[in-house]
Amino acid sequence: MLRNVLGKTFRFLGYTVQYGCIAHCAFEYVGGIVVCSGPSMEPTIQNSDIVFSENLSRHFYCIRKGDIVIVKSPNDPKSNICKRVIGLEGDKVCTSNPSDFLKSHSYVPKGHVWLEGDNLRNSTDSRCYGPVPYGLIRGRICLKIWPLNDFGFLRASPNGHRFLDD
């Protein structure tokens, strides 16, 4: 009787560990569902929109300008932020706010990206905390899931003029 109970308990624990490892690998390397909050990505992503974030791009260094990414916040490592990649290492970026009369530019250092929210007037982004290390990128958002009337791939940046080709 005891042998039977111990056998079932160890089998259950073994399956739990196996499925836990599979789930961890799936969420770490494949992707997951993310609920976005805040106004910084409006109108592309609204508060409480649900998106799918894939994680393979960051592992294979396939992040490009214009991609929307989930990143560990440089200001608060316990939280994630959702921003658009405006510049990759070596790119020249506009570091000033849209309302600034004099525009300032800088180059993105090696191993970093420049991130901005689509809602430039209501976004805390690289214009505030500077370039973000590539290692803080958690995933790339590729699909909006909710609300259903907005289901599909994400639209282009409303701030395309901020991408510099110099």
Q: Of 112 and 45, which is predicted with more confidence?
A: 112
Task: For strands 68-72 and 80-87, give the pairing.
Answer: antiparallel
Counting residues of the chain whose pLDDT is more than 70, the rounded percentage is 91
* The residue type at 78: K
pLDDT at residue 162, as a whole number: 63
Q: What's 102's DSSP letter? A: S
Residues recognised as catalytic: 40, 83
CATH number of 1-163: 2.10.109.10
6: pLDDT strictly greater than 70: yes
59: pLDDT strictly greater than 80: no
For residues 104-127, give the mean pLDDT: 87
Q: How confident is the model at residue 113 (pLDDT cuts 50, 70, 90)?
A: very high
Q: Is the peptide bond before 147 cis (omega within 30 degrees of 0)?
A: yes
Q: Please report where in the chains the tokens 């609920």 appear, as a residue.
A: 35
Least trusted range by pLDDT, from 82-86, 143-147, 150-154: 150-154
Q: Is the peptide bond before 133 cis (omega within 30 degrees of 0)?
A: no
Where in the chain are the domains? 1-163
